[in-house]
Structures are given as structure tokens and as C-alpha cells.
Copies of this chain bind each other. A is one copy, B any other.
């Protein structure tokens, strides 16, 4: 049912060891093999979900011999935790690349993040979306350990966006009455809903509409051209 594309899901993947079908990886490169398993797990869980992704499938995609999984992880649950942690690190680097780029005013950094995310999502044919969004939906109601881990990731992301919005408030680009932490929470929840709809519509329009609605709603003083009135979906 799943269509795999040839593109790597995550640019970091490019620096990781190339998959070699049927040939076991160099046993001296334990960390590389673990990272490869986590990367393949991240791709599979983002595309299909955690529960349905089998350990055998991860090993097959990684080209790592069967039976070596428990050399690296005590359980599938521990593997899931490693996948989420890996995505957290990857995504926080990506967020920081935009949100800490002081060559731009703070709200333009957020615009740049939103624009790049639309582009990436379109490049995956709107198939993948956000691992944290997907697993939060799948596991949030089922497993309290995963739920708490995913909620903590959201809190980290939220703190980053809140810092950026706080800068905007202090510069006078947003009304001084705003609570940056509350806006950041509304941002991420609205973001996840927009990404969810973009997947259903196979279109980035819901993400653009959300950005426009969010920034207009919070009284942004200068609205960039990319948020001009667009159809909502």
C-alpha cells in the first residue's frame, strides 16, 4: 500500500552509511549501525506508524542481519524511544537553523521555517508529515511513556517558538499584551492540524492558510506577500 520514494526523508541521512543489501555492516561501526537502524525506523514510522512497523522490516531496509536488533535495543519500545529522540534532535537543529538566524527579524525567521516545511512536504508528495504529529495521533491515547516523551518534545519546540515570538513582542512587531508561551502553543497545535489537512488534501494550501490566519490573528504589523488571501484548502 505504501509508495516509497527514492528521496531520503531526512537530509542527515546523506552522511550515514550506505545500505548494503545482505552484507552485514562492519562490526567495528556499532554506532553507525545503530544510527542506521534508527534512521530507517524513523522513515518507516513516519510513513506508516509505529505499531505496524516490524523489526524485520527495519532490519531489511537497513540491510542489517536479522537477530542483530537486540544487540542495539532491548525492545521495540526502546527502539521507538530512540526513533522519537532522534527526530527531536533532527527537528530542533532544523528549527534552530531558522529561529536563531539573527540576520532576519524574528517573524521572518518563522516565515522561512513555514515556507521550507511546505516545500519539504510537497517534495514527499504530502506522504510523510511530522513523526511527532503521526505518533502523537497513533500512540498518544495508548501508551503513557510515548505520550509523555512526545509531549516533552512539543514543549521543547514550543519554547523555541516562544523565544522567537518574545523577541518579536520586544521589538514591537507584535502587540505587547501577548503571552509568547501561549501563542507558541497555539502555533504548534494549529500547525499540526494544518499539516494533517495538507496530507488529506495533497496540497500545501492549508499550511499557508494557517500561517496567514495565525499571523493576522495575533496582530502582526507587517504581513508578507506569501500570506495574501488564498483558498483555505
Chain A positions within 8 Å of B, measured between CB atoms, are 1-3, 47-49, 51-52, 124, 126-129, 133-134, 136-138, 140-143, 147, 150-151, 154, 179, 181-182, 185-186, 188-194, 196-197, 199-202, 206, 209-210, 213, 216-217, 231-233
Q: Given the complex of chains A and B, what is the CA–CA distance between A179 and B192 in angstroms? A: 23
Residues of chain B with a CB closer than 8 A to A47's CB:
141-142
* CB <8 Å contact, A192 and B182: no
* CB <8 Å contact, B127 and A141: yes
* CB <8 Å contact, B138 and A200: no
- Chosen A-B contacts, 25 in total, with CB atoms closer than 8 Å, are A1-B143, A49-B49, A126-B140, A128-B141, A129-B140, A133-B137, A133-B196, A134-B137, A136-B199, A137-B137, A137-B196, A138-B138, A140-B200, A141-B199, A147-B200, A179-B232, A181-B232, A185-B232, A185-B233, A189-B193, A189-B196, A192-B196, A213-B217, A216-B217, A217-B217
Q: Name, among A126, A128, A129, A189, the residue most crowded by chain B CB atoms within 10 Å (CB to CB).
A: A189
Partner of A137, one of B124, B138, B231, B232: B138
Residues of chain B with a CB closer than 8 A to A51's CB:
48-49, 51-52
Q: Given the complex of chains A and B, what is the CA–CA distance between A48 and B49 in angstroms? A: 11
Residues of chain B with a CB closer than 8 A to A142's CB:
1-3, 47-48, 127
Residues of chain B with a CB closer than 8 A to A233's CB:
185, 189
Q: Given the complex of chains A and B, what is the CA–CA distance between A174 and B150 in angstroms? A: 37
Cβ-closest chain B residue relative to A218: B217
* CB <8 Å contact, B193 and A196: yes
Q: Given the complex of chains A and B, what is the CA–CA distance between A144 and B17 in angstroms? A: 33
Cβ-closest chain B residue relative to A183: B232
Cβ-closest chain B residue relative to A134: B137
* CB <8 Å contact, A141 and B154: no
Q: Given the complex of chains A and B, what is the CA–CA distance between A126 and B140 in angstroms? A: 9
Residues of chain B with a CB closer than 8 A to A141's CB:
47, 124, 126-129, 199
Residues of chain B with a CB closer than 8 A to A210's CB:
186, 189-190
Q: Given the complex of chains A and B, what is the CA–CA distance between A196 and B191 in angstroms? A: 11
Q: Given the complex of chains A and B, what is the CA–CA distance between A111 and B185 in angstroms? A: 21
